[in-house]
Every structure is written in structure tokens, then in C-alpha cells.
């Protein structure tokens, strides 16, 4: 896969450089092109490029695009559930070690703010209360 992508990139660069070389050889303003009957005069580009230069440029850009896409590394799947599960299981990963250092829970500041309700802790308290048969302290 890598070799064919490199070949496509090289071919695209060769064709693009050839098209730009041919464009540079064109006379600058030897003859004005005819006015377009389709486009209004305001947006008519008045450029007289030979069709072979235009086609060669388009083909070279398509070859370069295909070569770049094929030569890029494979995408890795986004697995937020794996990352979040690792954070939940590891107390060390949840602690922020310092400013700008890797690791740490990016949401720790939200979870540790005053008035934050820890649902899991309340669920454990409720399960313990149900096991006791509803006796004792009431869950708040």
C-alpha cells in the first residue's frame, strides 16, 4: 500500500510540475479570449487556457489527493468507554499530578466542587439502607 501511494504522489507531482511549466510557456496576453455567452461579464474570468493544461492539472491534483490519503496511517478507533473505565478503576489516574503533566482526570475539578452529588456513593448508601430493611438513618 505504501509503495503505490508513493508512486501516485510522484506521478501527481510530475504531472503538476509539467502543467505549470506548460502554463508558464503560454503567451501572457497575445489574444483576448471571446466573451462568454453563459457567464455575466462581471464574473467571466477571461482566461484562455488550453484544455490539455486544465485536464493535466485536474488529473495531477486527483492523483496527489489519492496518494496522500493512501499513504496516511490507519485511523485508530475512538474508545471513550475504555478510557473512562480505566479512569474509574485507577485512583492514581484520577489524581492530577501537576499542571501540564500527563494523567489525571480532566473532570476532577467538576467532581470535587462543593455541592457535587456523588450518585454512586448515594446508591451504595441506599443499597445498604435497603439491606438493613429500611431501619436506621434515612438517606438524604
Asked, for residue 85, whether it belongs to a domain, the answer is no
Instruction: Please tell me which residue, 82 or 96, carries the higher pLDDT value.
Output: 82
Asked, for residue 59, whether it belongs to a domain, the answer is yes
State residue 105's pLDDT score. 58
State residue 95's pLDDT score. 61
Instruction: Let me know the angle formed at the C-alpha of 8 by 4 and 14, rounded to the nearest 5 degrees.
Output: 145
What global pTM score does this model have?
0.47
Domain count, the chain: 1
CA atoms of 113 and 5, how far apart (whole Å): 52
State residue 75's pLDDT score. 72
Phi-psi region of 115 (alpha: psi -120 to 50; beta: other; left: phi over 0): left
State residue 100's pLDDT score. 52
| Domain limits for position 61 | 2-71
State residue 48's pLDDT score. 72
- pLDDT category at 121 given cuts 50, 70, 90 is confident
Amino acid at each position: 500500500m505504501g509503495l503505490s501511494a508513493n508512486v501516485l504522489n510522484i506521478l501527481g507531482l510530475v504531472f503538476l510540475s509539467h502543467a505549470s511549466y506548460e502554463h508558464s510557456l503560454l503567451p501572457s496576453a497575445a489574444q483576448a479570449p471571446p466573451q462568454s455567452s453563459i457567464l455575466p461579464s462581471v464574473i467571466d474570468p477571461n482566461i484562455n487556457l488550453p484544455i490539455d493544461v486544465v485536464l493535466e492539472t485536474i488529473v495531477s491534483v486527483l492523483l496527489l489527493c489519492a496518494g496522500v490519503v493512501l499513504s496516511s496511517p490507519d485511523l485508530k478507533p475512538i474508545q471513550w468507554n475504555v478510557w473512562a473505565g480505566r479512569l474509574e478503576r485507577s485512583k492514581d489516574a484520577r489524581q492530577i499530578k501537576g499542571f501540564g503533566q500527563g494523567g489525571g482526570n480532566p473532570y476532577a475539578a467538576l467532581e470535587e466542587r462543593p455541592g457535587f452529588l456523588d450518585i454512586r456513593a448515594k446508591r451504595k448508601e441506599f443499597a445498604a439502607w435497603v439491606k438493613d430493611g429500611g431501619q436506621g438513618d434515612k438517606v438524604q
